[in-house]
Amino acid sequence: HGCAVQMDARTGRPLLSCSPDRGDDQDTGVTELGSVPVTAVQMDARTGKAPVTFSPVGDAGLSPLIKRLDGPSAMLPFVQSFVDLSRGTEFGMYLEPQWRLLLNLDEVTAFVAMSENRDPVSGDTSEPVCGSLDGCVLKLQLAKDEIGYGFVLVRKSKRGQGLARKLMETAMMSSTRKCRHLLAVCSALGQPLYRKLDYKEAGLVTYLSCSIGDMLSFLASPPGARHCMDEPQISQGEVWERVKEKANNLISTDRLKVLSEGKYSSNATTSSAIHLDSFAIARQDCAGGPFIVGPMVGEESSCIALIRQLIRIHFRGHTNDDEYARLYIQMMIPNHFDLVQALMGIEGMRNNWQSPCMTSDGKPLCVGKERYLMYMHPTLG
């Protein structure tokens, strides 16, 4: 492996970078993005750690810097800044526990923008510097030739300067392999940009919610009761093992591990359920928080039975009727319009919003994954 000394464009100091052999789907060296040099994160030969690298964008001293953060150890120090960026946007419902879920995924890379005058740089660039962010985009390698993007956020005072486009272009150019690019949820503010980048609408994501009390009332009614047959009683450990088998090629082992262990938040609790050839996972990120259902994979006809199982398993009689009335189930459904219509027939069910999903080739988001009924929520695809 060869090592070469390169000069930092801002400080004039030498940067030691290594260029190990990589597969053709990995980032290599320095990528030119028009007039914007995008420096890949490489292993520091001295420390063995991934240094935080900066790429000047536009007029140095006034414009932000693009920084790439790979993995939880690099992203988590900025968790509060991610929360701050999402406030007041369509993603404002995501607080620290939800961001921690995303940032704990090894598969996720964050591209962030940070103003130079708020980024003190020490002599050692091997550790991330925690500061306020002006913008971000998250990238998730969904498959060998499929990449998902999401949470394209820019601080209000920095909008209108082309920062969101620079972030998206940087993220899209960070892989040398020709990939299909996906945007699982596209906010109204971001859609004009995505169209300029040649993304095409490829479906609709619907975000539904209702109280657990309303769901239980439906399950006790004749229309709901027909979905609810007694299921064999098996341990959660066995259920998780069967979920992992069924999730092969649909949900990564990394996401399953983070969800099943629930270590992203000290108060997180997760449950899983199986019905025939279908399965689902649900969680609460904190005590008293919403009951978030997803991912769910399988047949639409199994959806209600899975939700019933998840409620029974997760709460196990520890919640009374008053608490059920205050706790809400949340579900994010890509396409599957018949399922959306059926769920909207439940009294108290609310359609909070619908948002297009977009892809680089215009093909449906879940090509080959039509059984994917509900996303993990928040989602990158």
Average pLDDT, integer, range 345-355:
94
pLDDT-derived band at 231 (thresholds 50, 70, 90) equals low
Average pLDDT, integer, range 228-233:
60
What pLDDT does 347 receive?
94
Q: Are strands 30-33 and 36-39 parallel, antiparallel or unpaired?
A: antiparallel
Query: What are the structure tokens assigned to 177, written together?
Result: 């392999």
Tell me, rounded to whole angstroms, the distance of Cα 352 from its chain centroid.
Answer: 19
Give the model confidence (pLDDT) of 87-115 as tens digits.
Answer: 988 888 889 999 999 999 998 999 999 86
pTM here is 0.76
Sign of CA dihedral 88, 92, 93, 94: negative
What pLDDT does 228 receive?
64
Is residue 380 scored above 90 in pLDDT?
A: no
SS3 content of the chain, % helix, strand, coil (to 5): 30, 30, 40
- Going from the C-alpha of 26 to that of each of 178, 204, 236, 261, 331, the distances in angstroms are 11, 31, 37, 28, 34
Question: For residue 182, which of 227, 152, 206 has the smallest C-alpha distance?
Answer: 152
Average pLDDT, integer, range 367-373:
76
What pLDDT does 37 receive?
34
What pLDDT does 229 receive?
61
Percent over 70 (pLDDT), the chain:
73
What pLDDT does 230 receive?
57
Is residue 176 scored above 60 in pLDDT?
A: yes
Average pLDDT, integer, range 26-52:
35
Of 58-62, 64-68, 125-129, 211-215, the range with the lowest mean pLDDT is: 58-62
Is residue 301 scored above 70 in pLDDT?
A: yes
Of 171-175, 205-209, 224-228, 332-336, the range with the lowest mean pLDDT is: 224-228
Long-range pairs for 19-26: beta carbons < 8 A, 24 or more residues apart: 24/176, 24/177, 25/144, 25/175, 25/176, 25/177, 26/175, 26/176
Question: Helices (DSSP H) in the chain: which residue ranges?
Answer: 72-75, 79-86, 96-103, 163-172, 191-196, 212-220, 222-225, 236-246, 253-261, 303-315, 321-326, 337-344
- Cα separation of 69 and 130, whole Å? 12
Query: What are the structure tokens assigned to 65, written together?
Result: 């810097």
- How many CB atoms neighbour CB 140 within 10 A? 22
The H or E element that residue 70 is part of is strand 64-70
Question: For residue 70, which of 98, 100, 42, 99 has the smallest C-alpha distance?
Answer: 42
Is residue 133 scored above 70 in pLDDT?
A: yes
Is residue 7 scored above 50 in pLDDT?
A: no
Average pLDDT, integer, range 285-307:
91
Q: Are strands 269-275 and 350-359 parallel, antiparallel or unpaired?
A: unpaired
Is residue 232 scored above 70 in pLDDT?
A: no
- Cα separation of 333 and 346, whole Å? 16
Average pLDDT, integer, range 338-355:
94
Question: For residue 62, which of 102, 125, 115 has the smallest C-alpha distance?
Answer: 115
Residue 224 vs residue 139, higher pLDDT: 139
Residue 141 vs residue 35, higher pLDDT: 141
- Cα separation of 372 and 368, whole Å? 9
What pLDDT does 116 receive?
53
Which string of DSSP letters, residue by residue, matches 242-280? HHHHHTTTTS-HHHHHHHHH-TTSTT-EEEEEEETTEEE
Query: What are the structure tokens assigned to 281, written together?
Result: 């996972």
The H or E element that residue 66 is part of is strand 64-70
What pLDDT does 317 receive?
64
- Cα separation of 53 and 41, whole Å? 6
- Cα separation of 346 and 218, whole Å? 6
Give the model confidence (pLDDT) of 265-275 as tens digits.
Answer: 888 998 888 88
Give the model confidence (pLDDT) of 276-295 as tens digits.
Answer: 888 899 999 988 889 999 99
- Cα separation of 284 and 335, whole Å? 24
